[in-house]
Amino acid sequence: GGCNWITCRCGHQFCYFCFNTDPQHHNQPCNAPPDKTAQGAQSDLEYYMHYYDRWDGHRKSQELETQLRQDALSCMEDLTAHADHPSLQIDLAFLSEGTEALIACRRVLKNTYPYAFFLPKSSAKELFENLQARLEAQTEQLSAALESRQPLSAEATAEERRAHKTKIVNLGADARVRLRHMREGLEEGLVPKVTPAKPVMPTVGRPSGSRADPILL
């Protein structure tokens, strides 16, 4: 799946983004950018890579979680085929609904990182990153829950299945709330719109005083 808390086959667990191995880091936001007070190419690169890695990580997670849509439908079909109650198809709709909420959150979350990269340091950026962190934490929790299939297996008890359903329904509802808060923050002007800096247009290969062709960096 697309959850960014990785469990290796050897049992070692770590965060895909920052390699933190603290179990408390699981389901916690990992969006705090590096300190930008230092000057120099190394500092600039670390700052850029922070945003790029998280954009790319959420992009890959979105691709994996899009597959969860089909997996959820297959799981619903398998369980329904072995069910005695025809209403089970409706009861299992929480899998599909949770997956759609996850994909929507991941799509928005992915695009918050390029946006945040261009935001100048300010109280508005802190507010934006707070909304981003809340959405990210909720998204990771929902992703981890949807990846778990054991509570839906034949060995699971009815109580375990009900608990799993309740968990996904609640996480999906909370994720939609976080997603709405992020959108409202942008639409209502809580976070300023970003105006990208003009590209640098150096002159190359021409004598001094001549007109040069622009090169966009």
Q: Are 194 and 119 in contact (CB under 8 A)?
A: yes
Top pLDDT among 113 and 38 is at 113
8-state DSSP, 2: -
What integer is the mean pLDDT of 25-35?
A: 65
DSSP-based three-state secondary structure for 13: strand
Predicted local distance difference test score (pLDDT) of residue 212: 41
Predicted local distance difference test score (pLDDT) of residue 66: 77
Which is it for the CA torsion 63, 66, 72, 75, positive or negative? negative
Would you say residue 29 has pLDDT above 70? no
What band does 216 get if pLDDT is binned at 50, 70 and 90? very low
Which residues are catalytically annotated? 3
Give me the DSSP letters along 87-129. Answer: THHHHTHHHHHHHHHHHHHHHHHHHHHHHHHHSPSSHHHHHHH
Report all structural domains of the chain as residue ranges with CATH numbers, in order of start: 5-187 (1.20.120.1750)
pLDDT one-digit tens code per residue, 171-212 = 999 999 999 999 888 887 766 666 555 544 444 444 444 444
Predicted local distance difference test score (pLDDT) of residue 173: 95
Q: Are 80 and 88 in contact (CB under 8 A)?
A: yes
What is this structure's pTM?
0.70
Cβ within 8 Å of residue 59, ≥6 positions away: 110
- Of 36, 9, 25, the closest CA to residue 17 belongs to 25
β pairing state of 13-15 and 5-7 = antiparallel
How far is Cα 56 from Cα 119, in angstroms, rounded to an integer? 19
8-state DSSP, 9: T
Q: Which residue has the tokens 């799993």?
A: 164
Would you say residue 170 has pLDDT above 60? yes
- Of 195, 161, 176, 140, the closest CA to residue 25 belongs to 140
The share of the chain scoring above pLDDT 70, in percent, equals: 65
What integer is the mean pLDDT of 109-128?
A: 89
Predicted local distance difference test score (pLDDT) of residue 89: 45
Would you say residue 91 has pLDDT above 50? yes
Top pLDDT among 214 and 7 is at 7
- Average pLDDT value over all residues in the chain: 76
Q: Are 29 and 134 in contact (CB under 8 A)?
A: yes
Top pLDDT among 37 and 68 is at 68
Tokens (6 digits) for 195: 């105006």
How far is Cα 52 from Cα 60, in angstroms, rounded to an integer? 12
